[in-house]
Amino acid sequence: MKLSVVIPCFNEEQVIAEVNKRLYTLMNSYIEKELIGDYEIIYVDDGSSDGTLPVLKRLAEADKRVKTISFSGNFGHQPALTAGLYHAGGDMAVSLDADLQDPPEIIEEMIRRCKDGADIVYGVRDDRQEDTWFKRASAMAFYKFMTMMGVNLIYNHADYRLLSRPALDAFKRYGEVNRFLRGMFPSMGFKHSIVTYKRERRFAGTTKYTLKKMVSFAVEGITSFTNFPLRLAFVLGFINFLAAIALGIWTIVNKLQGSAVPGWASIVLPMYLFGGIQLMFIGILSEYVGKIYMEVKRRPVFIIRETYNLGNDSGGGVSNPRRNKDIFDKNQGNSP
């Protein structure tokens, strides 16, 4: 069993040596305990402008199990994670932040859960006292809002998670460019498990998520997972349309009672009516645009975890299911 550890780094020169030391000790203790057979640590340098890359290069030179991917510029946290996971060669891969806010010690429990059959193990923060008030409030509002719009999210789970090989292979089949990983994994199916932890204080340096990055991250999450905002057009248009009809009836009643203002109905009613009809049809148009958007992402229609007695396997019927990983790999293909 080999474990890959994926760490995105953006201007993290102050923390890398420490995280590497912690992981080195931890991984070797796991090998001693025979929890894993081997490991690799993949650092992804997301276009850092400080000394991150030289530090990573030195670590890679000193130890073959340390690998480094360096981007040509700053592509962002989610693309960095994606690159790391694509290059992970282990039977399991765990991703965590470079700043030690996600305590690496819980990887042990994650591995155990994976061995017990979970394909995706989510790290969930049950204590965020170390975060600022603003970070906690904005994160909570975001999770609530996303859930309201029907996006499947794990509350208080960020990007600290462990994936089995089948989950990693499935991940590689997602062809979309806009990536919101914490929405993608829950949409994949698979058996999952949750390990909770206390979010620590950043080991050194400051947050690399500026307000601008946070907002664009939230917008990405919303627009890549739900057509809810598009549907609003239809709902509002329909309400407007109904209001115009009611107003029309009210005008006729008024007219019959002889209290109508001349010219009012012929100006105001069409405004409401056509406003409503237009919004409604923009809403319908949006449904199709939304469909096109979902189609161009080329998400897998289904994900097979394993097959039994399919193809050249001569196992003994359903009573003797035999896992056939070769077929899984052949069928799924990897399309980065």
| Minimum distance, C-beta of residue 139 to ligand UDP, in the bound complex (Å) | 9
Stretch that binds Mg ion, among 31-39, 63-71, 101-109, 231-239 (CB under 5 A): 101-109
Could you give the 3-state DSSP secondary structure of residue 174?
Answer: coil
- Per rule CB under 6 A, is residue 98 in the interface with ligand UDP? yes
Report which secondary-structure segment, H or E, holds 92. strand 92-95
CA angle 129, 130, 133 (to 5 degrees): 70
Among 4, 5, 6, 12, contact with ligand UDP (rule: CB under 6 A): 12
| Minimum distance, C-beta of residue 118 to ligand UDP, in the bound complex (Å) | 24
User: With contact defined as beta carbons under 8 Å apart, do 48 and 9 qualify?
Assistant: yes
- Per rule CB under 5 A, is residue 131 in the interface with Mg ion? no
Stretch that binds ligand UDP, among 16-24, 69-77, 257-265, 277-285 (CB under 6 A): 69-77
Of residues 298, 306, 297, the one with CA closest to residue 331: 306
Query: What is the bridge-based pairing of β-strands 120-127 and 157-164?
Result: antiparallel
- Per rule CB under 6 A, is residue 9 in the interface with ligand UDP? yes
Among 45, 99, 119, 159, contact with Mg ion (rule: CB under 5 A): 99
Residue 285 token pair: 């148009």
Stretch that binds ligand UDP, among 71-79, 103-111, 112-120, 310-318 (CB under 6 A): 71-79
Among 99, 120, 156, 283, contact with ligand UDP (rule: CB under 6 A): 99
- Per rule CB under 6 A, is residue 13 in the interface with ligand UDP? no
Q: Closer CB to ligand UDP, residue 110 or residue 139?
A: 139
Contact string 21-60 vs ligand UDP (x = CB under 6 A): -------------------------x--------------
- Per rule CB under 5 A, is residue 101 in the interface with Mg ion? yes
- Per rule CB under 5 A, is residue 102 in the interface with Mg ion? no
Site for Mg ion in 266-305 (CB under 5 A): none
Among 4, 6, 8, 114, contact with ligand UDP (rule: CB under 6 A): 8
User: With contact defined as beta carbons under 8 Å apart, do 113 and 92 qualify?
Assistant: no
Of residues 229, 173, 209, 222, the one with CA closest to residue 78: 209
Could you give the 3-state DSSP secondary structure of residue 161?
Answer: strand
- Report which residue type is found at 273: L
Contact string 204-243 vs ligand UDP (x = CB under 6 A): ---xxx----------------------------------
Q: Closer CB to ligand UDP, residue 74 or residue 152?
A: 74
DSSP-assigned beta bridge partners for residue 334: none
CA distance 152 to 146: 8
103-119 residues labelled b (16+ CB within 10 A) or e (exposed): ebebbbbbbebbeeebb
Compute φ and ψ for 16, nearest 5 degrees. -60, -45
Could you give the 3-state DSSP secondary structure of residue 101?
Answer: coil
Which residues here bind ligand UDP, judged by CB under 6 A? 8-10, 12, 46, 74, 76-77, 80, 97-99, 101, 207-209
